[in-house]
Chains A and B, each alone.
Chain A
Amino acid sequence: MSESAETPALPKVRIATTSLAGCFGCHMSFLDIDERILDLMKIAEFDRSPITDIKHCSPCDIALIEGGVCNAENAHVLREMRANAKILVAIGACAINGGLPAMRNRLDVGDILNEVYRDLDGVQSHVPNDPELPLLFDKVYPVNEVVRVDYFIPGCPPSADAIWKYLNDLILGRMPRLDHSLLHYD
């Protein structure tokens, strides 16, 4: 990212990230860019993200969304991110097609809740109804079925190199592309 680091006139690129119905694996992979994060911080700053612990998103340039949309809270967070981000990027298998969590999609969500809570021996006999808890959707949805998505970085997770390359392209205004060595779905 040295080319842009030498043009201090540009304001810092503001990046928000979140993990919805994901495993934070994509975030871990992002952190695997290791010391390159220092280069990134010269030209970028973080908005809402597990890295900053900021709870709500403010206007930003790029939002990275990990995970699919499995409950109401996911949808609220996603909409907030979409409303605030100029560019929204779905990152990882779960954000792109529901991934592992979506393997529940062939099951009835009521059956799942009953199986998990109601049928427990003695301990608990009802499905939790606390309004604080977000309700599950009938299915786990890919991000692009809930909001408009501008870019997708596949992978489970995408490698740090793939994320790095993609972010570089986005920040520098190039059409982002991953060549064969960086493009993986697994």
Chain B
Amino acid sequence: MSGTETAIVVDEIPVPFKPGQTILEAALEAGVYIPHLCAHPEFAPHGSCKLCTVIVNGRNASACTLKAAAGQEIEVDTPDLHAYRRTLVQMLFVEGNHFCPGCEKSGNCQLQALAYDSEMMTPHFVEFYPHRPVDASHPDVLIDFNRCIQCELCVRASRDVDGKSIFALVGRGMASHIVVNSPSGKLGDTNFSVADKAAHVCPVGAILIKRVGYAVPIGERRYDLEAISEEASRCAGEEVR
């Protein structure tokens, strides 16, 4: 097979792809990291967070939704895109209540890891400080909506994998928010289980499994030890070997 037929070019590096793969999938497999939040290898592309915005042959596109195709020249690591990504992360920070020092997920949180990766020193914008009550009604799982970034991974996992449709995104614009499908609106009144896929896909600290939060101390966690971009490249390399 000739290289050009089945390869895209990402920041001047040839990246092979299989038919049907998105730009993000192909790049990650080749160890070329493109930041992303709402994308997950086990779920269909969603395209809402826009962190994976890249330039494909001069046009802006979401790497997680656009299929790779021969002839694509893709820019990922440009100063402009880097700044956009940081601004998008800042928007997600001020939209919710993200107090990392008080969050069990700190160090394992993808939003935080991407903020580190984009050298975010401040959320920058005026804080919205929304009022979002915590749901601790379930015996094994806590939901802290303050940290929700509306990636809808829990919605997708519960509907498509668990077959329970326990979560839904409702509302419009800034009023959009996740709700729980039970008469009381509480997780404790659903048949949600800690074994559900939806209990394990939250990229931030919104859905937390109880009683394990500090099993690994702060400072020794996943993204404390390694930047999210470096981890992605290393994992791809190990898979190839």
Contacts and interface: CB of A to CB of B under 8 A. Distances in A.
Is A–B contact present in the complex under a CB 8 A cutoff?
yes
Interface of A: 90, 93, 96-100, 102-103, 105-106, 139, 142, 144-145, 149, 151-154, 156, 177-178, 180, 183-186
B115 interface: yes
Contacts of A97: 93-94, 98-99, 122-123, 127
A102 B99 CA distance: 9
B116 interface: yes
Given A98-B127, A185-B106, A152 B122 contact: yes
Contacts, number: 69
Nearest to B120: A154
Given A145-B127, A180-B227, A183-B116, A152 B99 contact: no
Give the most central of B116, B121, B219, B224: most A CB within 10 Å.
B121
B100 A93 contact: yes
Contacts of B107: 186
A58 B224 CA distance: 39
Give the most central of A99, A151, A154, A177: most B CB within 10 Å.
A154
Nearest to A154: B121
A98 B79 CA distance: 29
Contact of A180 (B97, B101, B116, B122): B116
Nearest to A180: B227
A186 B127 contact: no
Given A90-B122, A180-B116, A139 B101 contact: no
16 contacts: A93-B100, A96-B121, A97-B99, A97-B122, A100-B101, A102-B127, A102-B129, A103-B97, A103-B99, A106-B129, A106-B131, A152-B121, A178-B119, A180-B227, A185-B106, A186-B103
Given A186-B106, A186-B218, A96 B115 contact: no
Given A102-B129, A186-B106, A96 B100 contact: no
